Amino acid sequence: MNILFAWVIPYIVILLFLGGMILRILSWLKIPVPFKLTVFPCPQTGAGVAADFVKESVGFRSLWRGEKSLWFMSALFHLSLAFILIGHFFGIGFLGQQFTWLGASSETSLNLSVLFGTYAGAALLLGLLLLTIRRIGSPTMKFISSFADYLVLVLLLGIVGSGMYMRLFHEVTYEAVQTYLIGLLTFHPVPFPDNMAFIFHFTLVQLLLLYFPYSKLMHSCGLFISRWLIVRPHERQVILK
Ligand code: HEM
């Protein structure tokens, strides 16, 4: 059982995830675009396109134009998620020693890693809870919500909840997780760290990865393939909204 879940399934998941992503993005790129229309206002230069892209991906510009509370929840959720994912890479990859590059002592670095992880995790959990309450709290939102909307929320709440549990109750060491992940990456798998919270966290992450290419979470990639980005400025036929 351990061999199946710790060694075999993660490789299958990653192959299905990558295959699903490639097929989904290719299917978008194959959709014919008979008229190179885009909506006014749109940038006329490459630099303008890049600036627009940053405003949209970091500042959530289109949400800012609408309901401000949704903009806040969305920004809180996405920015703290970015922090957490970067934190996972450095925290697990460098065992919490990443701040020694900035001159901190080994102990301070580990403390900073724990501190940033705790605050970013709490912010992520708060953002997720606010978005969940928004969805279930209003009859209109409930009416337009489907099973898929709830599924994504439940998976994310499970991942973030179990992550915070490990974080707050010091359940698992970075070393144990690093050894397991390096084993997978170098094709010399070792058993799971002996910790149920980690196994739960990791399994939910894999379920999320399996579902990702077919879910609305693909909007994160759709941003890169939206019309105002892929249609060259000089080829555009601008229409007024
Ligand atoms: C292969 C993927 C992942 C692995 C191996 C992993 C592993 C871990 C570990 C070991 C911890 C505990 C850290 C500690 O106690 O100091 C943790 C915490 C956490 N994880 Fe993950 N995780 C993964 C993916 C994710 C994803 C995709 C999310 C978000 C959607 C996430 C969200 C969190 C949160 C919010 C925490 C608590 C805050 C923190 O310690 O950074 N994790 N994760």
Q: Where are the domains of the chain?
A: 84-241
Which among 119, 166, 194, 203 is the best mutation to test ligand 1's pocket, defined by most ligand atoms within 8 Å of the CB? 166
Note the pTM of the prediction, 2 decimals.
0.90
Q: What is the DSSP secondary-structure string of 205-219?
A: HHHHHHHGGGSGGGH
User: Would you state the pLDDT for residue 235?
Assistant: 59
**Residue count of the chain:** 241
Alpha carbon 13 to chain centroid, angstroms = 17
Give the distance (Å) from ligand 1 centre to CA of residue 102: 24
Longest dimension (CA), the chain: 60
Mean pLDDT, consecutive 10-residue stretches, the chain (241 aa), reads: 87 97 92 73 77 85 87 96 97 95 95 96 98 93 93 97 93 92 94 93 97 92 71 56 49
Q: In the numeric block, which tokens belong to residue 2?
A: 């351990």
Ligand 1 pocket check for 197: Cβ under 6 Å: no
The minimum-distance atom of ligand 1 relative to the CA of 114 is: 16
Q: What own/partner pairs with CB < 8 Å and gap ≥ 24 does 78-82 have?
A: 78/127, 79/123, 80/120, 80/121, 80/123, 80/124, 80/127, 81/124, 81/127
Q: Which fold has domain 84-241?
A: Fumarate Reductase Cytochrome B subunit (1.20.950)
